[in-house]
Structure 1
Amino acid sequence: MKILPFRKNLLAAALAALAATLPVVASAAAATADSAPRKIEGFTLRDYRGQEHSLPNADEANVVVVAFLGVECPLAKLYAGRLEQLQKEFADQSVRFIGIDSNRQDSVTELADYAEAQQVTFPLLKDPGNKVADLFGAERTPQVFVLDQSRTIRYAGAIDDQYGIGIQRKQPTARYLADAVTSLLADKPVSLAQTAAVGCQIGRMSAAKPTGEITYSKHIAPIFQSRCAECHRPGEIAPFPLLTYDDALGWEPTILEVIAENRMPPWLANPAHGEFKNDARLSDEEKTLIRTWVENGSPEGDPADLPAPREFAEGWRYRDPDQVIRMNDKPFDVPAEGVVDYQYYVVDPGWDEDKYVVAAEARPDNRAVVHHIIAYVLPPGSDPRKDHERRQMLVGYAPGSPPAVFGDGRAMLIKAGSKLLFELHYTPNGVAQSDLSYIGVTFTEADQVKSLVEGVAIVNPRFEIPPGSDNYEVVAQVKAPKDLFILRMMPHMHLRGKAFRYEAVYADGKREVLLDVPKYDFNWQLSYELAKPKFLPKGTEVVCTAAYDNSKGNPSNPDPDATVHWGEQSWDEMMIGFCDVVAAEDERQEVKAAVIE
């Protein structure tokens, strides 16, 4: 086991990584149609051009596929292309495809934009009042129904198993929809009649008349503004905005679901251990207000009660940096679907003298497809392909993550001649795109620095996770060579990561949990900034314990039959406990007095 000791090497400040495979809206608790086959008598709807379409008669198509879609649902974007592919696959076999949008929040204009962006050629119909969704018993987008020649439902559920909550396989391992159509065309029974449809809840018209004292303007808008709007606004990665009352209408069922499951806002730390400056959790009172508001029919209230609009920084969020460094000299092309390997670029920033960094910010050029960015410092003479232990994280990006700003006279030291290694993870969203991300760095002079932030990587790269193991533990530890304050922690694993814990073991044998992440999620690789710096006396051992699930029970597992080792790509694994510390003797006395008991 290799241990990287506490030292004057500088490792990064903030990284809150998001695997934007399914931001916000996916759910495993999906509903499907009743188990007994049901005949659909027929319907007529208009497409986004105003043309009427009816359920095809028996002599017009042997099989009909009805797909319920939503214009802002990430899965509905990813699977639009798959439905197009299947339509072409069965083009000469008397199979008709129909798309239906039953969301109250989706306009006809937005449906037309969706059809153009996703290059959909089959009819896309608007379902006012969600009457056809009710007829089918559709609950989510995307959700498909396969009708035989008598227009009886023979299959209902997911299209395939390639995408799900935190799941993004290179290829589907089960083609539910294609198999159902193939069986019906061969006049055979469908072997699997139902699967769980995973995706956004359909935004139905509310059955409740708006009433009650809890209103959007007075109670809900302040919550959404402070807790959600950082990501849920135009140009950011979240799939729909939450800036106005009209923005929220139709998304209430999804909002209730994600807050009930504690999936939104994203926060993975066990509240029993530690207090954190960037704790994103909703309070119980906030959750109750949202639930009550929805149960009462989502009343708008008096617009005069609205809070002042929140101002979001456009461009750099700290200040204009002293230097902007791009990941490459040309963009990377992101495909429409599938899994994209991590991309790595070595860049020479031209640092021919020591640099003292007081702030850094990583910015995606194309937020729609950037899962995360990490910019590592490569010390002079290091080999980016081999010297993994010599890398120092400078800054990272994840949706909603703030820039790395040290403040209080703190800075990170980067030695002259160092280069940068950009690591980028992309998540396709159904449309081929490109990206040319970059970072901005702000410097200060050496005589302005009161204390140096030291980056620590608590690493164990020598492990073998056996096939099928559902709770394989890997441990790494470091010992503080002097009195220190720990400022921030960020666990890092890949798709098999299950749990991660930081503990302090003091000289007298006492153990204290500094951070506990009992349900690690690769898609939300968050950093945890302590509300107050934590004092660690000289000799304190910081122990990191990582648990991995390499079993078939882990739906994100790329290959449960593989023995897994350390590696760069997401189908390999890593075990790193990042943290930022400062030497106690460099800190102000009043800070020490506030945290040392």
Structure 2
Amino acid sequence: AYVHRHEIGFPVLKDVGNVVADKFGAERTPEVFLVDERRIVRYHGRIDDQYGVGYSRERGARPELSLAIDQLLAGEQVATPQTEPVGCHIGRVKPVEPTGEVTFTKHIAPILNEHCVSCHRPGEIAPFTLGSYEEVLGWEDTILEVIADNRMPPWSADPAHGSFSNDPRLSDRDRELIITWVDNGMPKGDPNDLPPPPEFAVGWQMMQPDQVIKMRDRAFSVPAEGIVDYQRFVVDPGWTTDKYIVAAEARPDCRSIVHHILVYVIPPDAEREDIRQIVAGYAPGALPLQLPEGVAIEVAAKSKLLFEMHYTPNGSPQEDLSYLGVRFTERKNVRKLLRGQIAIDQEFQIPPGAANHRVAATYKAKADEYLISMTPHMHVRGKSFKYVAHFPDKRSEVLLNVPRYDFNWQLKYVLERPIHLPPGTEVRCEAIFDNSESNPTNPDPTITVGWGDQSFDEMMIGFMETVPVENDF
């Protein structure tokens, strides 16, 4: 199916039982072995350096395999005969007899259900599923690697600052259980110990929506390769009365090409989109908007919605018709209105080669309010991001520190307990950008970089969500 979907023009054979992989000693997929007419390996490693651990290049990748082939066909020595392959471990049956008290059904399944299955299930963003014992087998080496590197579950906040209700990280005990289970040969355990699988609404992470709104009336065509400009589609949802949204989820139709979605409200009297009120967003790792009881987003009658779409071609032509699901409540059930706030700088200029360029912006609270969540946003040169509150009584507090910002995981950080922002409180957001050659995702370290929509441009936005201390209604 993969070969046909991507219209691969060269022969592809299935390595049943890993026979060929074992003979070559291959450990990862993809991993290349280029052999000459005497069956001597002349190049071993990756196809190119477009993808690495935690990054992908949109341009400027070095075609290492292609260069090796050209040199070999020209009768030359391959200049770089060895590179480091990057990818998932090739799953193999372990020659270990399962033993021990730590079992999948009693210990491992509950951990996966709590921390992994929301993404690692059919139709979601993860590349494989982890809903059963059989599905986990073969992924154990990859699982051990990503939890050791703290790559999974994805989370970038410094634990020294703030407590967040959506923190998915594994406890030390959970890590040790997984390691012990793999070391002991992954015993399955008693089927009676298996917990029931988590329940998810069909196709949705939130509860079934009251209304589904498509981004437009027809699919958008994405080419096989190249850079696709940000697409913006304005949609009339048909709201003839004021709406009070309590849950919203943006969902990609073709997940393999949708990098992110942002859906904004355009009020009926607005001349342009208002970036301060986001209804929902989708990015790898993002959760749907689900507000506490009594809190809602107020949307005026006759408002429109703006879908901002960022597409990344995946090697074959695709079509996408993404959509938004929303749940409503009546005004009588609403006590407080959720408000979108931002700290933003659109005038910065990052010099060529700068490895630690600092950009700052401030949001000042005009009313007595509670801070609910924070979402830092930069592009591929983003290095770190910090929110610091400066209170009227001269106190300061680091609200959120993201020391290693990752463009691939644009996360919302929802506070476990809302933070009181008295009038006059300033929330200062500080971003560090890396425009140097040492940044593997940097498209071009030789240019000055400013604000722009594409990921090879940059942005500096500190999104925040607040609710008033006093009830609105």
Write out per-residue CA displacement over residues 492-535 of structure 1, whole angstroms, 9 at most, x where no aligned residue.
11111111111111223221111111111011000011111111
Aligned to 2:375: 490
Tell me whether 1:562 sits opposite 2:447 in the alignment: yes
Which residue of 120, 129, 140 corresponds with 1:241? 129
Secondary structure in 2 matching 1:577: strand
Task: Report the alpha carbon displacement of residue 400 of structure 1 after superposing the two structures with TM.
Answer: 5.5
Task: Report the alpha carbon displacement of residue 205 of structure 1 after superposing the two structures with TM.
Answer: 2.5
Task: Report the alpha carbon displacement of residue 315 of structure 1 after superposing the two structures with TM.
Answer: 3.8
* Structure-2 change in CA distance of 1:383 and 1:140 (3 Å): farther
Which residue of 247, 271, 278 corresponds with 1:359? 247
Aligned length: 473
Runs of 4+ in 1 over 6 A off after TM superposition: none
Task: Report the alpha carbon displacement of residue 381 of structure 1 after superposing the two structures with TM.
Answer: 4.8
Write out per-residue CA displacement over residues 96-124 of structure 1, whole angstroms, 9 at most, x where no aligned residue.
xxxxxxxxxxxxxxxxx333334345443
Which residue of 429, 436, 449 corresponds with 1:551? 436
CA RMSD of aligned residues (A): 2.2
Q: 1:390 & 1:206 partners in 2: Cα distance?
A: 52
Which residue of 208, 216, 231 corresponds with 1:328? 216
Aligned to 2:347: 462
Q: 2:447 & 2:19 partners in 1: Cα distance?
A: 48
Task: Report the alpha carbon displacement of residue 322 of structure 1 after superposing the two structures with TM.
Answer: 3.9
Task: Report the alpha carbon displacement of residue 557 of structure 1 after superposing the two structures with TM.
Answer: 1.0
Secondary structure in 2 matching 1:586: coil
Aligned residue runs from structure 1 range 138-149, under 5 A = 138-149=26-37
Aligned to 2:103: 215
Q: Which amino acid aligns with 1:407?
A: P
Which residue of 144, 153, 162 corresponds with 2:50? 162
Aligned residue runs from structure 1 range 7-46, under 5 A = none
Task: Report the alpha carbon displacement of residue 236 of structure 1 after superposing the two structures with TM.
Answer: 1.3
Listed as ranges, the gaps of 5+ residues in structure 1 are 1-112, 589-597
Does the CA-based 8 Å contact 2:260-2:310 persist in structure 1?
A: yes
Tell me whether 1:293 sits opposite 2:178 in the alignment: no
Aligned residue runs from structure 1 range 187-202, under 5 A = 187-202=75-90
Secondary structure in 2 matching 1:465: coil
Q: 1:213 & 1:339 partners in 2: Cα distance?
A: 52
Aligned to 2:234: 346
Task: Report the alpha carbon displacement of residue 203 of structure 1 after superposing the two structures with TM.
Answer: 1.2
* Structure-2 change in CA distance of 1:349 and 1:184 (3 Å): same
Tell me whether 1:448 sits opposite 2:333 in the alignment: yes
Task: Report the alpha carbon displacement of residue 567 of structure 1 after superposing the two structures with TM.
Answer: 1.0
- Shifted more, 252-261 versus 128-137: the winner is 128-137
Which residue of 504, 519, 527 corresponds with 2:404? 519
Tell me whether 1:265 sits opposite 2:142 in the alignment: no
Which residue of 434, 444, 459 corresponds with 1:574? 459
State the TM-score, normalizing by the size of structure 2.
0.94
Does the CA-based 8 Å contact 1:379-1:390 persist in structure 2?
A: no
Does the CA-based 8 Å contact 1:489-1:529 persist in structure 2?
A: yes
Task: Report the alpha carbon displacement of residue 452 of structure 1 after superposing the two structures with TM.
Answer: 1.3
Write out per-residue CA displacement over residues 475-499 of structure 1, whole angstroms, 9 at most, x where no aligned residue.
1112222321111111111111111
Write out per-residue CA displacement over residues 542-561 of structure 1, whole angstroms, 9 at most, x where no aligned residue.
11111111111111111111
Aligned residue runs from structure 1 range 7-86, under 5 A = none
Larger radius of gyration: 1
Which residue of 152, 162, 166 corresponds with 1:274? 162
Does the CA-based 8 Å contact 2:284-2:408 persist in structure 1?
A: no
Q: 1:214 & 1:121 partners in 2: Cα distance?
A: 46
Q: 1:204 & 1:390 partners in 2: Cα distance?
A: 49
Secondary structure in 2 matching 1:585: coil
Q: 2:59 & 2:388 partners in 1: Cα distance?
A: 39
Q: 1:173 & 1:399 partners in 2: Cα distance?
A: 23
Does the CA-based 8 Å contact 1:356-1:446 persist in structure 2?
A: yes
Which residue of 176, 190, 200 corresponds with 1:302? 190
Tell me whether 1:500 sits opposite 2:385 in the alignment: yes
Q: Which amino acid aligns with 2:382?
A: G
Aligned to 1:370: 258
Q: 2:121 & 2:223 partners in 1: Cα distance?
A: 24
Does the CA-based 8 Å contact 2:43-2:78 persist in structure 1?
A: yes
Aligned to 1:535: 420
